[in-house]
Amino acid sequence: MSESTIESILQEKRLFQPAAEFSQKAQIKSLEDYQQLYDRAKADPEKFWAELAEQELHWFQKWDQVLDWQPPFAKWFVGGKINISYNCLDRHLTTWRRNKAALIWEGEPGDSRTLTYAQLHREVCQFANALKHLGVEKGDRVGIYMPMIPEAAIAMLACARIGAAHTVVFGGFSAEALRDRLVDGQVKVVVTADGGWRKDAIVPLKTQVDKALADGAAPSVENVLVVRRTGQEIPMQLGGRDHWWHELQPQMSADCPAEPMDSEDLLFVLYTSGSTGKPKGVVHTTGGYNLYTHMTTKWIFDLQDTDVYWCTADVGWITGHSYIVYGPLSNGATTLMYEGAPRASNPGCFWDVIQKHGVNVFYTAPTAIRAFIKMGEDIPKARDLSSLRLLGTVGEPINPEAWMWYHRVIGGERCPIVDTWWQTETGGIMITPLPGAIATKPGSATLPFPGILADVVNLEGESVGTNQGGYLAVRHPWPGMMRTVYGDPDRFRKTYWEHIPPKDGKYIYFAGDGARRDEDGYYWVMGRVDDVINVAGHRLGTMEIESALVSHPAVAEAAVVGKPDELKGQDIVAFVTLEGGHTGSDALKAELKQHVGQEIGAIARPGDIRFADALPKTRSGKIMRRLLRDLASGNAVSGDTSTLEDRNVLEALRDEG
Ligand code: WT7
């Protein structure tokens, strides 16, 4: 975030009360109701979650113990047997929801499809049998590298049904990034498509899978299942590794009972970037995740039975997992999935989708809202958006100006906005308004969800005072929390639970965000405090991008920082020193950007590359990123530079910028 954004957030005083008509029909109807829930949960979190687990979910067998907390490792509903695919599908089939739309899908070229709960259940069962047919067993891992088509959700639910864990890899990631994840997750089968539509072009997914698997680079992968989506010619290793979905699926029986899973069995691994090292596999398990995504969806999106709910995320991110697939379906809601993105040929496509399907609840990202503002309000104003009754945002802090525009132009000044703070690691939303209960302030995620003992602390773990900056933290385990880093419990402990040293056996979850709490107890999240860059709501580790740059033969050393960007929130600036014999040029800049795109994906491509003779370092050889951040943003270099080894370096970099 830019200085000016922080400044305006600090001065934000507007307060928006939920409308009486909204509150009357809402799940949680008043601040008193919220406060009661919050206090009850705080007094006895285990009792609170256990009651909800009993009321809201189907268990094949009840648990023996609600929480087994051996910090930092938590087990929820120990001994309970449950299946999230059963809770998302089967249990709705014996009710009127059997023939309700479960999934409404819009393809980018304008094709669409609706699956009722009965139809979705049938597809999931058949695909689960297809996975079994290819040798997938309970405990195996399945990779999903898909466009936003119904088969992505079907594949996820099919894995959950038979107890195979899925690893969804965002379709915008490169073959190299895909390979790393397939190898780390020891994935047995990959589900993909020939391609997907994005901004009027085909994303060649199957080709990327072929590249990722070339030369036996991911030897655990035995089979690849391919959906025909875009229809272009692609090479298939038929009779061997590759199988067409449309050939296998019809041959499969629609009878596939959901496997009773242990509450703590692995549900999925989702990779996310941190400040150091390679992306980490965030592990989520079954029972607690099911409960947490179910409850947050129910109370925050306030789903009514006739609602059409649309979250614009991609299933490759946690938002897609929790709030396109599992949370909404567990609640028996109608969830909408859209393949496309606003593009030059159709900048109003989101509003067309809302108008066409009468979307009632709409959940998107601040970066998208800022892009809409730029395109002008005539575009949404030319559509009928009167069906909307609730709006949401996620992914990064929203600047009050963007919040006000969203409220006025999209929400017609009648829709509450839920600004939801959470992370891949938290599994579900943690700090948010409950829309019928909590008055909103533009730019604030407001108050913690019941059962979440959030706080703003210093590095000693002490709560800081009102309106003082500190670190966002959580003081008690919650059902949706990540359980570990896949294959690396030590990294889990160090990154999240020992950053603030535990005292007297009390562990505090360190989120990596800066925040403050105002006089009403409202949280204002300021952004990352580590070397993580948030580009258009996507999280990227500086070290990943630096490694990608250094893998280019011309690059000797690289340091990557974020700089404020009007549209994307942050953009990537790379400072690069070259190997002898290479000279900096515009052509080389373009080549390096391209190279990072190849290594990670287009989202990681630096917006700006600056060549330097040397990088500013401390005497112990640590790159001084703080200085680079100042330079990248065009600010005067602030703070202490006395530890800098060679002051001339700074002058040279300044001239280059
Ligand atoms: C990071 C998590 C969780 C879904 C999407 C991103 C930032 C997320 C907000 C918000 C301010 C936010 C934080 C967080 N963030 N939501 N409402 N206000 N910041 O998931 O990739 O795991 O990134 O996104 O910095 O730590 P993610």
Task: Encode pLDDT of 230-244 as tens digits.
Answer: 999 999 998 799 999
Given the CA of residue 421, which atom of ligand 1 is nearest to it? 17
Ligand 1, atom 11, residue with closest C-alpha: 397
pLDDT of residue 648: 78
* Strand order from edge to edge, sheet including 223-227: 242-244, 223-227, 189-193, 141-145, 165-168, 266-272, 280-285, 484-485
What is the spatial distance between Cα 155 and Cα 161, in angstroms, rounded to a whole number? Answer: 10
What is the spatial distance between Cα 349 and Cα 363, in angstroms, rounded to a whole number? Answer: 15
Most ligand 1 atoms within 8 A of CB, residue of 440, 539, 544, 603 to mutate: 539
Summarised one tens digit per residue, pLDDT across range 131-147 is 999 999 999 999 999 99
What is the spatial distance between Cα 560 and Cα 542, in angstroms, rounded to a whole number? Answer: 5
Ligand 1 centroid–CA 126 distance in Å is 35
* 217 three-class SS: coil
Summarised one tens digit per residue, pLDDT across range 196-219 is 999 999 999 999 999 999 999 999
Most ligand 1 atoms within 8 A of CB, residue of 273, 534, 538 to mutate: 534
Ligand 1 centroid–CA 421 distance in Å is 6
Q: Is the pLDDT of residue 629 over 70?
A: yes
Q: Is the pLDDT of residue 2 over 70?
A: no
Model's pTM, two decimal places? 0.94
Answer yes or no: is the C-beta of 454 below 6 A from any ligand 1 atom.
no
Answer yes or no: is the C-beta of 476 below 6 A from any ligand 1 atom.
no
* Residues of the chain above pLDDT 90, percent: 89
Mean per-residue pLDDT for 448-474?
A: 97
Ligand 1 centroid–CA 479 distance in Å is 19
Ligand 1 centroid–CA 423 distance in Å is 5
Q: Are 548 and 600 in contact (CB under 8 A)?
A: yes
Summarised one tens digit per residue, pLDDT across range 63-79 is 999 999 999 999 999 99
* 402 three-class SS: helix
* ipTM for the assembly: 0.99
pLDDT of residue 1: 44
Summarised one tens digit per residue, pLDDT across range 465-493 is 999 999 999 999 999 999 999 999 999 99
How big is the chain, counted in residues?
657
pLDDT of residue 590: 97
- Strands, DSSP E only, in 222-279? 223-227, 242-244, 261-262, 266-272
Given the CA of residue 429, which atom of ligand 1 is nearest to it? 3
For residue 123, CA distances in Å to 58, 117, 120, 597 come to 21, 10, 5, 35
What is the spatial distance between Cα 101 and Cα 121, in angstroms, rounded to a whole number? Answer: 12
Least confident of 263-277, 324-338, 587-601, 628-642: 628-642
Answer yes or no: is the C-beta of 482 below 6 A from any ligand 1 atom.
no
Answer yes or no: is the C-beta of 318 below 6 A from any ligand 1 atom.
yes
Residue set of the binding site: 198-201, 319, 395-397, 419-424, 513, 528, 539, 550, 552, 555
Ligand 1 centroid–CA 199 distance in Å is 25
What is the spatial distance between Cα 57 and Cα 260, in angstroms, rounded to a whole number? Answer: 13
Q: Are 165 and 142 in contact (CB under 8 A)?
A: yes
Q: Is the pLDDT of residue 401 over 50?
A: yes
